[in-house]
Homo-oligomer: A and B are copies of this chain.
Amino acid sequence: MSSPDQNSSDSNVAVTAESPGGEDARSRILAAAGPVFARSGFDRATVREICGEANVNVASVGYYFGDKMGLYREVIRQVHERKERLFPTPGESKTDAAELLHSVIRTLLSRIFAGDSSGWESQLMMREMMQPTAIFAELVQESFRPLFVRLVETFRRLVTVEVSEHELEQFAFSVVGQCVYYRIGSGVIQILVPEPSRQKHYDIDSLSRHVTGIMLAAAESGRGLQYKHALRVNPSNLTPFNTLPE
């Protein structure tokens, strides 16, 4: 018995009709694993539940992916691939910078919210963000950075007064933060704003226009960095977060 253990799109394996659920065992495991990992997190998820949902024996995950972590890596890889294909990072071809900004924000929100109605795909990404596993750094470089630099470039074109690089980056983070929060904080929002209003005003279209409007106003006014005021600051608490908790 030899384990394939690596992904191979086309091999010599005959694709015969499988018992229940169609597809081969490997694909069924992969499909079942995503939602489970997203719902329960890597630790709380059990290979028994995944295999049960995929109608395969528990030993199959060891056979096809080496171990539980191998399966997890493959799930993350596949999600990133699908997101990039469905919502590619907008090129800088657009002449109107404002329109480009809107397009980027819309792409970001789409990546965050689109997919299976349960939203397991971005739920998974958010988890990676908060509790980085070994593949986190790689994920950031390949998935987050391109959209981030596109945001920075867009703000460079938008801003009227002269600003330094770190200010442009903070503008970009302000965009990302707002968008991400509508997923992360969806539980909070559900409690804080009642149903009818939430149903009406919290779709991708409304939100992207809202965020775009805010950032355009900030960029054009040259504010966002110049707010200084006579303020009684809370002493201490000037510590930057140069160290990650873990």
Contact = CB atoms under 8 A, between A and B. Distances in A.
Nearest to A228: B209
Contact of A215 (B176, B197, B214): B214
Interface in A1-53: 38-39, 41, 43-44
B39 A41 contact: no
Interface residues of chain A: helix, strand, loop or mixed (majority): helix
Given A119-B245, A127-B130, A213-B223, A237 B114 contact: yes
Interface stretch (A59-67, A68-76, A77-85, A177-185): A177-185
A113 B166 contact: no
A78 B9 CA distance: 53
Number of copies: 2
Interface residues of A, number: 103
B223 A214 contact: yes
A185 B137 CA distance: 12
A131 B124 CA distance: 12
Contact of A234 (B110, B176, B185, B243): B110
A152 to B, nearest CB: 10
A118 interface: yes
Contacts of A110: 234, 237
Contact of A38 (B126, B229, B239, B245): B245
A103 interface: yes
Closest 7 CB pairs of A and B: A177-B181, A217-B223, A213-B227, A217-B221, A214-B218, A213-B224, A213-B223
23 contacts: A41-B131, A99-B230, A102-B231, A117-B239, A120-B245, A126-B130, A165-B197, A166-B200, A167-B210, A169-B193, A173-B182, A174-B211, A177-B181, A178-B178, A180-B181, A181-B181, A190-B244, A198-B242, A199-B242, A210-B224, A214-B218, A216-B227, A218-B218
